[in-house]
Each structure stands twice: as structure tokens, then as C-alpha cells.
Structure 1
Amino acid sequence: LLHGGVVTCRTWGPFCAMLAHKYRLIAVDMRGHGDSEWPRDGDSNHNAMADDLAKLITTMKLDNPIVVGHSVGGMLLMRLMLKSPELLGSAILVDVGPKTAYNGWKPRGEVTEPSRLYDEVEDYVQRNAPRLKRSEEHMRRNGRHEFMQRMDGQYQLKYDPRHPMGGPDEKTMPGLPTLGQMAAYQGRCLVVRGGNSWFLAAGDAAEFAQALPQGELATVPDCEHMVYIENPVGLATVIDTYVNSLDIVTGANP
């Protein structure tokens, strides 16, 4: 399970609660996020981050893993689908594709919020719960893991501010794969869109799924871009149905 930008693997918690009894779920913190190391050279290039994912799969000896990527996590997964498709059992891309509406980020304060400092974690909860459409209880619980206390006593998200948010740039997002390039992926892939998403247009999602030789499309209702946070039950239902349709055996090699 690959989270989006700024957040951590802990945000998958409510989703995991729906499926942990049935599947082995592995949620990871991408470099510069959560408890993973911040690159000493500040390199959060998405090609390098996709290589991190490949190394994780091979190091853990995962056989035919079904990889789920949301937003930035999906961007990394798209790169892996093209560079090392043999590592994947199937790919599930959640509210992301070759065509995305980055202009939806800026009005929501995504550019400046990650670097904001707080006197208390509760200040973050009260400020952002309505904006991010996350319950206060969920944010307080995750706050124990998503924040670190600085030497001056203030709290900062566990997110490397050198990794810019707010749109693609040549340093961090060196050319998202195009629709034509993604059409070369021969494996099975599910494209999932949040029903009210401002990030992935309905037409773009449908076009993407149709361009993939074994692409499928699903929509999760009652959510915008943060699908697995805003409607974890709906996403879990969609993914469970899809995984049950796959004719592959997953697991870990000895």
C-alpha cells in the first residue's frame, strides 16, 4: 500500500481494518515521509522513489504482489509498471493517472500546509480535520505517528519539506508516464476514481482504463481525492471484489 504525498502509511489504518483479516497488507512510508529516512541529498525524485519500491519488493521476496498506489504513490507505481512489470502481480491505481488536475491542489492549501509548525498536535487536528475530511479521532490517533517534536518544542509533520508539493516539476516529477506509454503495460490493472474527485476527471479515468490492455475502472462514491481516508469501506469493497477476480497466486518466496 503506497500512500500519497505528505501523509504516511498510518493513514491506511481504517482501510486496513476492513481487509486485514483476509489479506497480508504491507503499508510503507515513502522516503521523506513518516518514519522512513529523509534523503541526505534531498533527492525525492520520483524515479528514485520508484526504485525504492522495486528494492522493497525484491528484498522482501514478495511473489506477485498486488500493489496499490494512491496519488503520488500511484505515480511511483506507474513508473514501476513500465520499468519492472515482472515484479507485479497486479496494479491498483487510486485516483491517479497520466492526466491529473494539479490545479486542484493550490486552492486547498496543499502547497504551504506541510511546512506549518504547531504548538500542539491538537492545533493541527482542529485546523485540518474539516479541510482534509478526516475525523478528529482518526487524526488524533495518527498524530502520535505523523508528527515529530522539534528542539524548540513545536510540532512538525514527518514530511521532508524539500519534497515540493503543488504540481509536477522537472526535479521531483520528471515526466509522468503518458497515456501511450502506459498502454504498453500488459498486466492487469484497476483504475479507481473517487466519485467526487477534483484530481482525476471521470473522462480521464475512463480513457486511462480503456488504454490499458487489461485495464478496469471502478468508482468509489462519497469521496473526493483522498479515497482511502474518506471512504475506506467503499474502497475496500472495490479492491476486494477486484482481487477475488484475479487468477494469480501471491505470497513471499522462502
Structure 2
Amino acid sequence: MSTRRHPDVRPSLRTLRLDSFATRWERLLSAAQRHAVPDHEDLVLPAEGMVRRGSGPALHYLEWPGWAADAPVVLMLHGGGLHAHTFDLTANLLRCRARCLAVDLRGHGESDWVEPTSYGSDAICEDIDAVIAALELEDVVVVGHSLGGMGAMVWAGRRPAALSGLVIVDVAPEMDAAGIGSVGAFVTTPQSFVDLEEVQAHLAADSPTIAPRVDGVAANLRWGDDGRLTYKYDSSQFMAMKLELRDDLRRIVRQIVCPTRILRGERSNVTSETAAAELAGLIPGATWTTIPDAGHTIQSSNPVALAAHIVKFLDEITPTSAPPPQAPQ
């Protein structure tokens, strides 16, 4: 399978400034303050690496420090048109409880692009296998949002022995057509901007009631050869992506045997309560809940609540080894 890099293999000076440590640190602090994340002094930027293999695209991943040797592994997969840094705050809140990693799906972020027909659920499954093998991960808990959640469900249904737990974030076999249409229109419409201020104005106009901030998408932007900002993902993938949907996905998820939690955003226009409840009914032992003050991208709209629910899930499936409190003498 041939691969191709996104256009800015050799970054310009403006690209380097956009991705500098100081710039990324300020964006992280700004997002933390906006979401009232406690303990700002404990925030860290993640380490970065690439998984390379003989065939298939190179995959960029992030890893946050602070985990204990016996900590569970949490592997996070973002949605379509997003990137691994979308989990920056969630992973910071989890990093002392678990070994947290996040992967740029192929055709996203800093991972390689491939031919338009080489995207989809099967491809995500291959990439999960590659990351787990390259990093020698065991007893993995996968957190998958939207597109990453679809791939994670397919992978979990086919490889039940490799998974300790699954958290599905705002995706289900039956999704709201209007919501999916709006997401699809956004990621397939070519967009470019003069500067970050224009990006902010565009985001505010697109979602005036939610007022998204540019620090949440800056890691997903690059300077193009024409001197304008554009998104890092390969928009062509969404035209020919091969996904298991509806009845095909229903059939696959019935094979999932690991502990599973389904989370939907209270304001989600993609996954309804009915759809989340149906999915929970298809997976043996699965449960679902709604995250308040959150839209479709829960890790961006309410990362504190998302982290809290993942910690609760980890506590249920991987109890800590701390001794129980002793009774008073």
C-alpha cells in the first residue's frame, strides 16, 4: 500500500512558530483555564513518537508521563477531522492513574496520508494492531471517539482477547443523519484562512451558541504552500472511506466481550439517548451514560467530566492495589 505525506514535510518558519513549545504550552494553559481544570502546575505537554513499519503508513502518537509501572494502558483514538492533541486535557487528568497514549489516525495530524480507498474501519484496526505491537502494549483499554470509536468497536469485536476495556465516545450504529451530515460537510469542504484570528471568527460563526476557541484546533492547522492556514487532515478520505455502519456494526459489536462503557454528550447532534441505549443493549454487560455540558466531541467540550468517567470505569475494571483503609482502633 503506497503512502504519501501531507504537503508540508519541510516546515516553514511560520509552521515552526505555530508548533513551538511555548505556543503549545500557552494553548494548553488557556484551554485548562477555560475548562476550570484544577492544578495547572501539574499540566504537561506529551512526548511524541512515530510507529513505523514495513508496509502501511507511519503513525504519530502522543504519550503523557506520570504513570506507575503497574498502571493500566489507555489508548485514545480521535474522531474524523480531529487529531491526537484533542485529548491533551483529558490525558493530563488521567496520567497519574493510567499510561495514556493517543494516536493520530492515518490521514490526520502528523500521521501519513494514504490513497483515498485505504481509509476506514479495517485500516483503523490494522493501525491499532501496529501501535500495540510496536509499543508492546498489554491489557489495553481503548477510548474511541466518533470515527475512532467505530474503528475501536470493529477491532474489539474481532480481537476480543486483546482488550481489557472499551469506552465508546458519542458514536453508535444508528446516528442522527442531520448531525452526521453537518460533520461530513465540515470535513469535506476545503477551507483555508489568513491567520488564527480568521480561524476564530469562522469557528464562532459556525457555532455561535457554543463559541469554540482556536486553541482547541490550532494543533490541527498547518501553513500551506500558498501561505494560508489549512487543516492537517486528508479531506479526500471522507469521500471513499469504508465503514461498517448500522446492521453490519450491530452484528460486529455483539462479539465484544470486554467491559464496555458508552458515553454520549448531552448536546450531541450525532448520538441520541435511544442510539446509546440500543448500543449498550447489543454489547453484553455494557452500560451507557450522558455527559452533561458536552457536545459530540466530549473531550473538547467537557474534558474534566470525560476524565472522571474514564477513571470511574478504570476503577471498576482494574481495581487499584492500594490496601483498604484500616478501621479506627
Partner AA of 1:231 in structure 2: N
Equivalent AA in structure 1 for residue 175 of structure 2: T
Q: Deviations over 1:71-126 (max 9, x none)?
A: 00001101101122222111110011111123213346744665201111321122
Q: In structure 1, which of residues 69, 73, 91 is the aligned counterpart of residue 144 of structure 2?
A: 69
Q: 1:114 to 1:158 in 2, by over 3 A?
A: farther
Match of 1:168 in 2: none
Moved over 6 A (4+): none
1:158 aligns with 2:232: yes
Q: Return the match for 1:223 from 294, 317, 324.
A: 294
Q: Classify 1:138/1:241 alpha carbon distance in 2 versus 1 (closer, same or farther; 3 Å).
A: same
**Paired residues, what number?**
241
Hey, what does 1:11 align to over in structure 2? 86
- Shift of residue 247, structure 1, vs aligned partner: 3.8
Q: Contact between 2:154 and 2:252, CA under 8 Å: does it hold in 1? A: no
> In structure 1, how many angstroms separate the alpha carbons of the residues matched to 2:122 and 2:183?
27
- Does the residue aligned with 2:286 lie in a helix, a strand or coil? strand
Unaligned runs of 5+ in 1: 166-170, 250-254
Equivalents in 2 of 1:184, 1:109: separation in Å?
Answer: 29
Residue-by-residue CA offset, 1:168-187 (whole Å, 9 max, x unaligned): xxx41333243243122111
The DSSP-based 3-state class of the residue aligned with 1:214 is coil
1:24 aligns with 2:95: no
When residues 40 and 204 of structure 1 are mapped into structure 2, their CA distance, relative to the original with a 3 A threshold, is closer
User: Is this contact kept in 1: 2:203–2:212, CA < 8 A?
Assistant: no
Q: How far apart in 1 are the matches of 2:298 and 2:205?
A: 15
Look up the equivalent residue of 1:224 and give its one-letter code: G
Q: Identify the residue that residue 97 of structure 1 maps to in structure 2.
A: 172
Among 92, 113, 117, the residue aligned to 1:38 = 113
Determine if contact 1:89/1:248 at 8 Å carries over to the other structure. no
8 A Cα contact 2:117 2:241, kept in partner: no
Give the letter aligned to residue 242 of structure 2.
M
Please tell me the root mean square deviation across aligned C-alpha atoms, in Å: 2.2
In structure 1, distance between residues paired with 2:111 and 2:283 = 32
Instruction: Write the letter of the residue equivalent to 1:102.
Output: A
TM-score by length of 1: 0.86
CA deviation vs aligned residue, 1:24-67 (integer Å, no higher than 9, x gap): 11011000000001115662132112211121112211111110
1:188 aligns with 2:259: yes
* Higher RCO (C-alpha under 8 Å, 6+ residues apart): 1
Q: Distance in 1 between matches of 2:242 and 2:188?
A: 20
Matches within 5 A, 1:53-132: 53-107=128-182, 110-111=185-186, 115-129=190-204, 131=206
Q: Which moved more, 1:13-22 or 1:129-138?
A: 129-138
Cα displacement (A) at 1:239 = 1.1
Q: Is the 8 A contact 2:144 2:150 kept in 1?
A: yes
Compute the displacement of 1:129 (Å). Answer: 4.4
Equivalent position to 2:215, from 131, 138, 153: 138
Return the alpha-carbon distance in structure 1 between the equivalents of residues 136 and 92 of structure 2.
25
Give structure 2 stretches of 5+ with no counterpart. Answer: 1-75, 321-329
